[in-house]
Amino acid sequence: MAGASLLTLLDDIATLLDDVAAMSKTAVHKTAGVLGDDLAVNAEQVSGVKAERELPVVWAVAKGSMLNKVILVPAALAISAFIPWLITPLLMLGGLFLCFEGAEKLLEFARPQAKEQRQQVDEAAKIKGAIRTDFILSAEIIVLTLGVVSAAPFLTQSVTLATIAFLMTVFVYGMVAVIVKVDDVGLHLSQKEGQAALQAIGRGLLAAAPKLMKSLTWIGTIAMFLVGGGILVHGVHALAELINNTAEFSAEIPAIGVIVSALLPTLLNGLVGLVAGFVTVFIVSRFHQH
């Protein structure tokens, strides 16, 4: 009798793990775009610190990110179960904040003095800002995953969300750590005596590292508008329908219709994010003046 109960338990566990694996795979596909933006934004957020402090800063933000997930996973499950209508407004507020931060960054690019002042922000403030941004991006991924598992039993939902949250944190901040240390790896390889191939690779990495970090500044900023704008668009059904209809109509353009229809929703999401970001910056600046 006890043996049969144990076998039943093991069978239930195996079924649960199979369901979690299948749903996690689907969730990864659905969230891949946001995950890429999450990587670009966070790599840009933790750049600019002293070389010897890069990995400690990445580790500090990664721990903050994991704490975000510890808060977000049960919160998402509770909101979905009891007040599901609240998910969209909360996401839209987060999306608006991303657009706001993106607009502030663009203004900094246009005002060198403001950029210099931001670069002087202490390490603790940089970590706090990166964790705050991570919270919003993580919330988007958690909610997308919740949509995948919404019809599953509660236990399957919980385990799948926890799995995605953990894997997402490990992947994103593992990659961020690699990105910020590219120059150190290049320097190490360039000093390998008697190994011309490795030295050449090292010199290439050293030459590419500054360009990579500079490009991440722009990629991370653009990602804020794309993700934030996308959240806002999906929160306004009429606007989402208008963009989808426009994309479908553009597919009829000869020769380039397929390409245009594929890119247009992303570009329009970014445009919405850009407008929303600058409007929010204007309102906030007016509020501060008073």
pLDDT, tens digit, for every residue of 88-105?
Answer: 888 888 889 889 988 988
Structure tokens at 174: 């593992």
Q: Give which of 105, 133, 134 is closest to 117, Cα–Cα.
A: 105
The pLDDT tens digits for 199-231 are: 888 888 878 877 877 787 788 788 888 888 888
For residue 23, what pLDDT is reported?
A: 67
Q: CA 136, CA 76: separation in Å to the nearest integer?
A: 13
Averaged pLDDT, 177-187: 80
Averaged pLDDT, 144-154: 78
Share of the chain above pLDDT 90, in %: 9
* Structural domain that includes position 186: 2-289
For residue 279, what pLDDT is reported?
A: 93
Asked if the model's pLDDT at residue 106 lies above 70, the reply is: yes
Averaged pLDDT, 110-117: 60
Total domains in the fold of the chain:
1
For residue 275, what pLDDT is reported?
A: 94
Asked if the model's pLDDT at residue 12 lies above 60, the reply is: no
What is the band of 41 on the pLDDT scale with cuts at 50, 70, 90?
A: confident
Structure tokens at 40: 């670009």
For residue 276, what pLDDT is reported?
A: 93
**Are 181 and 57 in contact, with CB atoms under 8 Å apart?**
no
Asked if the model's pLDDT at residue 49 lies above 60, the reply is: yes
Q: CA 95, CA 89: separation in Å to the nearest integer?
A: 10
**Are 23 and 152 in contact, with CB atoms under 8 Å apart?**
yes
For residue 214, what pLDDT is reported?
A: 76
**Listed ranges 3-7, 20-24, 125-129, 194-198; the one with the highest mean pLDDT:** 125-129
**Listed ranges 136-140, 151-155, 264-268; the one with the highest mean pLDDT:** 264-268
**Mean pLDDT, all residues of the chain:** 79
Collapsing DSSP states into helix, strand and coil, what is residue 47? coil
pTM: 0.76
Asked if the model's pLDDT at residue 31 lies above 70, the reply is: no
Q: At what angle do helices 182-190 and 196-235 cross, to 10 degrees?
A: 170
For the chain, the straight-line distance linking the first and the last C-alpha, in angstroms and rounded, comes to 75
For residue 111, what pLDDT is reported?
A: 73
